[in-house]
Amino acid sequence: MIRVKGLSKSYGSHTVLKEINADIMPKEVVVVIGPSGSGKSTFLRCLNLLEKPEKGEIWIENTQLLAKGTDIPKIRAEMGMVFQQFNLFPHMKVLDNITLSPVRVLGRTPEQARTKAMELLRKVGLESKADVYPASLSGGQAQRVAIARALAMEPKIMLFDEPTSALDPEMVGEVLGVMKTLAQEGMTMVVVTHEMGFAREVGDRILFMDEGYVVEEGKPEELFGQPKHERTKSFLSKVLH
C-alpha cells in the first residue's frame, strides 16, 4: 500500500534519513521505534510530504508522491495524521474542527459531515464535547478529537506522530485504546511511538530506526524477543524494564 524506496533527507549538512526502504501492506500496523533524533518522525512526515525528501520514491498505491504534477492535497486527504501536539484549531468548536475539511475538501454537505462527526465523537467517547472549544479539553480528550478529525476524511492510511508523548501519564491509555480499536477494525497505520507495550501488543511489524537508518525490522515477538543488532539490543535494554 505504501512503498518507500531509497528515501533520503537532510537539513543542511545533517542527514536525517539515509536511503530508507519500507513497505507497508494494507491493514498492517507498522510501529516505528528508536531513540530521539533517529529520524522516525521525519520519516513519517515525509509520507504525507510535510517534509520534502531530497531523494527516493514514495508510492501510495499507484501514485509516486515525489513525481512532478502529483496532486499533493488530494494525497494528503487520503491519509490521516495525528500529531504529538494535537494541533486542533483553537478558534473552532470541536464539531467544526471535525467537519471543516469534509465540507471544504471532500464537498460533503454540512448535514452529512455533522452526522459523521457525531458518529466519530461517539466512537472516541466524546459526544458531549461537540460544542466546546478545544481549550477546555484535557490532553487525552484533545488527542481523541484529533483522531476523530482525521478519521472524518475517511482516510485509507493513518499516520501517528508520537500521539501520546505530550500527554499526562494517566491519559495515555485512553488514546492508545482508541488506536487499538482502529487497528482491530483493519485500518492501515504507521505509528511513531515510545509506547513499547502498544508496539508489542498492537503492532504487526516493528521498524527500529537509529541515526537515519532502518536498522532492523520484524514482528514484535522477533524484534523484542531476539533482536539481531547490537544497537537494537542496547536501545531495548534502555526502554524495557
> What is the contact surface with another protein in residues (CB under 8 A)?
48, 50, 73-74, 76-81, 83, 85, 87-91, 100-101, 104-106, 146, 149-150, 153
Measured CA to CA in angstroms, residue 27 lies from 77, 118, 172, 201, 218 at distances of 18, 25, 23, 15, 16
In the complex with another protein, the residue whose CB is nearer, 148 or 215, is 148
Q: How far is Cα 85 from Cα 193, in angstroms, rounded to an integer? A: 13
How near is the Cβ of 149 to another protein at its closest, in Å? Answer: 7
Q: How far is Cα 209 from Cα 192, in angstroms, rounded to an integer? A: 10
What's the one-letter identity of residue 102? Answer: P
Q: How far is Cα 237 from Cα 209, in angstroms, rounded to an integer? A: 15
In the complex with another protein, the residue whose CB is nearer, 87 or 165, is 87
Cell numbers describing residue 165: 508523548
In the complex with another protein, the residue whose CB is nearer, 60 or 196, is 60
Task: Give SS3 for 159.
Answer: strand
In the complex with another protein, the residue whose CB is nearer, 66 or 100, is 100
How near is the Cβ of 91 to another protein at its closest, in Å? Answer: 5
In the complex with another protein, the residue whose CB is nearer, 31 or 157, is 157
Q: Are 211 and 14 in contact (CB under 8 A)?
A: no
Task: Give SS3 for 183.
Answer: helix
Q: How far is Cα 89 from Cα 96, in angstroms, rounded to an integer? A: 9
In the complex with another protein, the residue whose CB is nearer, 50 or 118, is 50
How near is the Cβ of 108 to another protein at its closest, in Å? Answer: 12
How near is the Cβ of 64 to another protein at its closest, in Å? Answer: 19
Beta strands in the chain (DSSP E): 2-11, 14-24, 29-33, 55-60, 63-64, 79-82, 157-161, 188-192, 205-210, 213-218
How near is the Cβ of 154 to another protein at its closest, in Å? Answer: 11
How near is the Cβ of 40 to another protein at its closest, in Å? Answer: 17
